[in-house]
Amino acid sequence: MSERRANRAYLSLGPNIKPEENLPAAVCELQAFGRVLAVSSVWESAPFAADATTDRATRPAGSNFLNAAVLLETDLSPEDLYDQAIAAIEQRLGRVRDPHDKNAPRTIDIDLSLFNHDVLEFAGRRVPDPEIVKRPFVAVPLAEMEPDYVHPTDGRRLADIALHCASNSGLRPRPDVRLEESE
């Protein structure tokens, strides 16, 4: 009989409302849904919104985001991880979704960026998250945790993706905000 292996969920986190409080709180809450194997450093990025006329990111006024990544070992499926963990944590931390502005300020945003080496679609979400190859605030924290992880559809290592999209990004480290791995 074969032994079932736990799943490896790579999560991207990003609050800009009380981020110094909400980011560590989210990491702490994730521990109820598995074992936190790794956490990235914390990175600061300016908010952005998509310009519908050009499909390019613009920089509106607003509080900067703190971004990080977490590697969670869990028995949950991707769907259950989203339904039972991510949605519940976002709700407990006061996340309010604005249907007219997906880039509105938020207390926490948790995205399932990678799941094992799977390629998935569920509930309107895609895994790997397409933002990995576009946004340094997603790519850099993930690459920091597992630089040699090969993106399942892009074929590049996370370190190479991060290097490519991080140049001139304005992303900066925030060593004053620390996240703890579980013991």
Number of domains in the chain: 1
Residue 43 lies in a domain: yes
Q: What would the pLDDT profile of 51-110 be if each residue is shown by its tens digit?
A: 444 444 444 546 899 999 999 999 999 999 999 999 999 999 999 888 887 778 899 999
Question: Among 4, 5, 51, 111, which one carries the catalytic annotation?
Answer: 111
Question: Among 4, 55, 56, 95, which one carries the catalytic annotation?
Answer: 95
CATH number at residue 19: 3.30.70.560
DSSP class per residue in 27-45: HHHHGGGSEEEEE---EEE
Residue 180 lies in a domain: no
Residue 157 lies in a domain: no
83 included as an active-site residue: no
111 included as an active-site residue: yes
Domain encompassing residue 53: 7-129
Residue 181 lies in a domain: no
User: How far are the Cα atoms of 12, 46, 140 from residue 171, in angstroms, in the given order?
Assistant: 15, 8, 9
Residue 58 lies in a domain: yes
- Asked whether 147 and 156 are in contact (CB, 8 A), the reply is no
pTM of the model: 0.89
DSSP class per residue in 4-28: PPPEEEEEEE---SSHHHHHHHHHH
Flag whether pLDDT at 1 surpasses 70: no
